[in-house]
Structure 1
Amino acid sequence: MTITKHFERPELKTLRQLVRQGEGQQLEFKLKSNHPDKIMKEVVAFANSDGGKLLIGVADDKELIGLKYPDEDEYIISKSIEKFIFPKINYHLEKIRLDNEKEVLIYDILASEIKPHYLDLKGIPDERKIFVRSADKSIQASKEVKEILKGKKKDKGYKFAYGEKETLLMKYIDFNKEITVTKFSEVAQIPKKIASRTLVLLVLAGVLRVNPSEMEDTFSMI
């Protein structure tokens, strides 16, 4: 009697391990490319954040479905990246064949050094949108996050004066771990505009970090 052993291909094993992690800060699944506008939102968010992998041909429940005509999906996605994202982003593409002979596309989106990147679906500069990654979601950037991304691009070596409002801010964060623009405005009794500007400056100076949220961003110590 002859026993035949079937060994899983290394690249497929690596893919299964990756998918088991589930969607998160640097991982997103899409089943198909039939809504390229939604896919572009994920691509922009990864480029504006810490980078990440976009898997096409994987269901939300982690099932490896694959693409029957991967070349068509690749063409749609690659053309959409070229057409709708400004400035251009850097990415790598890998194709992995499944046991069912279908393929999964893995787009490895690199964290950009020229942030922010915009999603421009209509070709109208004033309607361009910035997205960032927050846990397993890609969300539209707040006014503060936009200013932080633009400020980091300038890299001026930001400094700040440590005054009364900064003292109140640090005491609040030390006790509560994080703060929002609204709460800082209340605690320091200052206009939200000044609270916003102060928090942005402290992030750019490397004192605080911003944690993007769909509701209201929070700021915490690095």
Structure 2
Amino acid sequence: MINKDKFYEILATGREDDKWDFKENLSIDNKQKFYNVLKDMLAFANSDGGYLVLGVKDKTHELVGVENEIDEAELSQKIESSLNTIIDFKLLYFEDNLNGEIKKFGLLEVKSARRLFYSPKTYSSEKGVIIESEAVYVRRGTRSIKATIEQLNQIITRVHKIYSYNFTPKEQEIIKANKESAYTEYKVFHNYLNGNFEFTAMNFGDKIKELCFYQSKLNKLEVAKWLGFEEDKINDYFNGLAFPTLEHILRASKYFDVPLAFFFKASYMGRGPIWDEALVNFSIIQHVVQKNELFTMDLGPFFSNVLWDMAKNICLFVEWMGTDYNDYLKASESTDIFTIKPKAFELYDYLSDMSQEEVIDFKDSLSVQHYKIIEKVYHKEDRTWLPEEHFLFSLVGFGKELVCRLINESIKSIEITHGSIEVKYHFIEEIKAKKINGREYKEKDLKLVIHEKRV
């Protein structure tokens, strides 16, 4: 349903969601703005529908009104010419009195797709590619991103079973290509964190390209000459079609100043697994309570699981630190069964016997104590990844000292019971216990000293 009441119902939530997005204006003439809107509409259509709330600032949710009203038929024609198909949507504009001034607002509803939606062309702006051709976009949190394998399966189930739609051969090819792309993209990073690696010509070529990108100031031809690649096979070595000799590997090790072992283990951004660094390894293992359990475990997956869990909980904590307690109270009092409460709100439940002023003071104190963790969770607009994924990618690029500090300041203990791993975190445990702990990080011996005190 699309009307004025729906506009204010969404606005009252005070947050963006995977079912709606706030925008100041729609634009047909500005390529970048139109392509971003088109991407959102594709994602909503593939994700069971959604809304664009118009005349509202993205971050502050301030009501500013729309500058220009876009004709629904004109927008539909523009979309059809771009996609060679029609997206089912409704567009409503209305006027309202805002502090004595008449402003115009809008609501665009995208209907749930009864088939697969994608763009036949790639659309870019000066800042880069916005929509990739034949990529299947969905909503994930507050972003429009390429679908994961699980999300593609959800689309197939909904469209085929609910709407009894039979995918065309072309659509089946696109689904298969998107699944392979999603699998490859995630597999590379997951294999890296798990330490999975097999030495092949392709992997050697990838490592050389990786090192060239992150370390070399020379161009491809100059690097190839230094490494001793035959002139007629340069592209073959870089593309993994020619198997390197031992001399090539020795030259590459010396030129890029990396140990020989680098070419025989997983790497990312020109670095081996971050847990393979001795001090990073030590920082994690020192928190394990039952260290004897590690003798029977595959350490690659163990470290990977700990790092993923740490990233998720750090991002949850930082998200909670950025929430407004009033929003939590409104959500708690709401009787609307469709109200979606952010997972971070669950942390407020531990503070239910505290007053609003005490909660605010408590959060302020936590922000001071955990400033190093908070400042390293980078929030970037329109990123493809979930917060924990982006944080973990960033962690790989951090210096060893910072990685160790974040681990030691975050992790309180790691319990291993019959192969099951449970990680406890200082910031979560402090919230549960309603504690504000003083802390001092000892860089000399990589230890966190806790000075406990109760609120």
TM > 0.5 between the two? yes
Higher RCO (CA-CA < 8 Å; seq separation 6+): 1
Tell me the equivalent position of 2:144: 138
Tell me the equivalent position of 1:174: none
Q: Distance in 2 between matches of 1:147 and 1:18?
A: 29
| AA of the residue aligned to 1:69 | N
TM-score, L = length of structure 2 = 0.29
Q: Distance in 1 between matches of 2:77 and 2:103?
A: 22
- Checking the alignment, whether the CA contact within 8 Å between 1:36 and 1:77 is kept in structure 2 is no
Please show how residues 26-175 of structure 1 align to structure 2 within 5 Å.
26-34=19-27, 35-60=33-58, 61-71=60-70, 74=72, 77-85=75-83, 87-99=85-97, 100-114=101-115, 116-122=116-122, 127-142=133-148, 145-146=151-152, 149-150=155-156, 153-155=159-161
- Give the C-alpha shift of residue 154 in structure 1: 4.5
Share of identical aligned residues, percent? 22
- Give the C-alpha shift of residue 137 in structure 1: 1.1
- SS at 1:95's partner residue? strand
Among 5, 11, 17, the alignment partner of 1:19 is: 11
- Give the C-alpha shift of residue 110 in structure 1: 1.1
| AA of the residue aligned to 1:138 | S
Q: Distance in 2 between matches of 1:152 and 1:13?
A: 29
Q: 1:96 to 1:147 in 2, by over 3 A?
A: same
- Checking the alignment, whether the CA contact within 8 Å between 1:33 and 1:76 is kept in structure 2 is no
Q: 1:58 to 1:85 in 2, by over 3 A?
A: farther
- Checking the alignment, whether the CA contact within 8 Å between 1:29 and 1:59 is kept in structure 2 is yes
Q: Distance in 2 between matches of 1:90 and 1:67?
A: 22
Larger C-alpha radius of gyration, 1 or 2? Answer: 2
- Give the C-alpha shift of residue 45 in structure 1: 0.6
Q: Distance in 2 between matches of 1:145 and 1:131?
A: 10
Q: Distance in 1 between matches of 2:152 and 2:84?
A: 15
Decide which moves more: 74-83 or 38-47.
74-83
- Give the C-alpha shift of residue 32 in structure 1: 1.8
- Give the C-alpha shift of residue 152 in structure 1: 5.3
Instruction: Give the 4+ runs in structure 1 shifted more than 6 A.
Output: none
Q: Which has the higher helix share?
A: 2
Q: Which has the higher strand share?
A: 1
- SS at 1:119's partner residue? coil
- Checking the alignment, whether the CA contact within 8 Å between 1:40 and 1:85 is kept in structure 2 is no
| AA of the residue aligned to 2:88 | N
User: What stretches of structure 1 of length at least 5 have no aligned partner?
Assistant: 1-10, 158-179, 187-212, 217-222
TM-score, L = length of structure 1 = 0.55
- What's the RMSD between the two structures over aligned residues? 3.4
Deviation sequence 1:90-121 (CA, Å, 0-9, x none) = 1122112132333222111111121x201345
- Checking the alignment, whether the CA contact within 8 Å between 2:54 and 2:106 is kept in structure 1 is yes
- SS at 1:63's partner residue? coil
